[in-house]
Amino acid sequence: MELRGICTSGIQQDKKAVSNTGNSKNFNQVFEKTMDKAKPYEYCFQMAASKYQIDPAVLKAVAKAESNFNPQAVSRSGALGLMQFMPGTAQSLGINPLDPAQSIQGAAKYLSSLLDQFQGNLTLALAAYNAGPGAVKKYGGIPPYQETQNYVSKVTKLISKYGSSVQDPFIGNSQGVSGIDFLAAGDQNSALILLLKEMLLLSAITNLR
């Protein structure tokens, strides 16, 4: 399935729905101001988070740490794309790592599998995303690699920045969070997004009167 372009399609459909009321300029202003110029990958994060029951804040934090939201990023080690997959990992997931929608879906699927492997421990799942699950199993925790330790710390701080209600598992909660916590947080974020959309629609329609 070709996913290219799907990241922005949902946003464009929402804008079109109210633009058809006859005042697209007003809606665009309300939409852009309220959403703070939402990143073009927002819908991809939300869809992937919903499908794999992962907090979207986790996916955004990983994308920020991995590539700074650059879908064409290539690391010195050969990792590719928005979520920085090695070619072999991307192939095993059946994705094109340079397609942002596929990259986000792949990351959500991979993180979900890592959470299963490590009993819902986000700290270990993030460490495994960076250093590989083999290294985490070998050391029985976060590997003694400065890069991986810095990575886990950075991503968990970014998770809070992107609005997660999940506690920082690296600083102050060594047990991480469970899959139930992820689902609850994801549901809360989805509900807030739906509420925000309804508020945007009501605001735009009210201003038309």
Cα–Cα distance list, 14 to 41, 87, 108, 169, 194 (Å): 15, 35, 24, 35, 11
Amino acid in the structure at residue 43: Y
Among 42, 66, 147, 198, the one annotated catalytic: 66
66 catalytic per annotation: yes
Please list the alpha-helical segments (H only) found in the chain: 6-19, 24-35, 42-52, 56-67, 87-93, 100-117, 122-131, 133-139, 146-161, 179-208
- Sign of the torsion formed by the C-alpha atoms of 88, 91, 95 and 99: positive
Distance separating alpha carbons of residues 142 and 35, to the nearest angstrom: 36
Please list the alpha-helical segments (H only) found in 68-121: 87-93, 100-117
3-state SS assignment for residue 85: strand
Distance separating alpha carbons of residues 55 and 163, to the nearest angstrom: 10
Output the six-digit token pair for 158. Answer: 């970014």
- Which residues are identified as catalytic? 66
